[in-house]
Structure 1
Amino acid sequence: MSTDIRATNDLQWLAELRTTLTDELEVQKTRLTELTDDTGDPAEDHTRTALLAATRQSVEQVSGALQRLADGTYGACEQCGASIPRERLEILPHARFCMPCQRRRNG
């Protein structure tokens, strides 16, 4: 595959990714709004708190990925600067670290 075709495929993939992430961000924001509505049921407080934390984390991750796309740093490891393999980004679009750096961070 020529470099031009590969670059075009990468641009198309990034555009599709941006759309997917933008849609996911809207879904998560809507979910966050729904979760912050108090149902008045104390039995649901613990579950709602856990769901709120997970949803907030998801919003942060997706927002971060969109910001990296916008500023041109998407796909570069935040620790060492190496390229994060596309396969990893396809599985985990909000990945901020390459696998070696992620392993070091996880201990």
Structure 2
Amino acid sequence: MTIAPQTPQAPAAEPLELLRTMLEEQFALHTQRLTELTVYGRLPGHGGYDRHTLDVLAAASRQAIADAAGALRRMSEGTYGVCEDCGRPIPLGRLRALPHARHCTRCDPGRDGRPR
């Protein structure tokens, strides 16, 4: 019995559309949040936030926007759902939990807290 090697495949079309919707919603949510934080930063009293907290929250929103945009770009390129390190498919459960994932759990550089 011969077993043909399988090539990595991205998620099926239906889950992919759900993931695309999730990513688009995250992109919009964090864009709106960044806009709010920017406005707060210009108000006297910073909308009740201290300057450092505003900076940290804005940086987190910028990163979330970049992550969502990157995942949407990979979808349009056809590389979404494939680990950037090993080339294997990223499990659907991981993508549901972390739709912008670029690595499988085995290759994720931050998985155990140590950089690769």
Q: Same fold (TM over 0.5)?
A: yes
Match of 2:67 in 1: 61
Note the alpha carbon deviations across 1:56-91, whole angstroms, 9 max, x for none.
111111111111111110011111211111111111
Match of 1:71 in 2: 77
In the alignment, residue 46 of structure 1 is paired with which amino acid? H
Match of 2:12 in 1: 10
TM-score (ref. length: structure 2): 0.76
Higher helix share: 1
Counterparts of 1:22 and 1:57 in 2: how far apart (Å)? 15
Deviation of 1:104 after TM superposition, in Å, equals 7.4
Structure 1, unmatched stretches of 5+, are: 1-8
Counterparts of 2:19 and 2:25 in 1: how far apart (Å)? 10
Whose Rg is larger?
Answer: 2
Deviation of 1:99 after TM superposition, in Å, equals 1.3
CA RMSD, 1 decimal: 2.0
Between 1 and 2, higher relative CO (CA 8 Å, sep ≥ 6) is seen in: 2
Match of 1:4 in 2: none
- CA distance 1:104–1:25, change in 2 (3 Å): closer
Native 8 Å contact 2:22 2:99 kept in 1:
no
Matches within 5 A, 1:12-91: 12-37=14-39, 38-41=42-45, 44-91=50-97
Structure 2, unmatched stretches of 5+, are: 1-10
- CA distance 1:56–1:104, change in 2 (3 Å): closer
Match of 1:99 in 2: 105
Query: How many equivalent pairs are there?
Result: 99
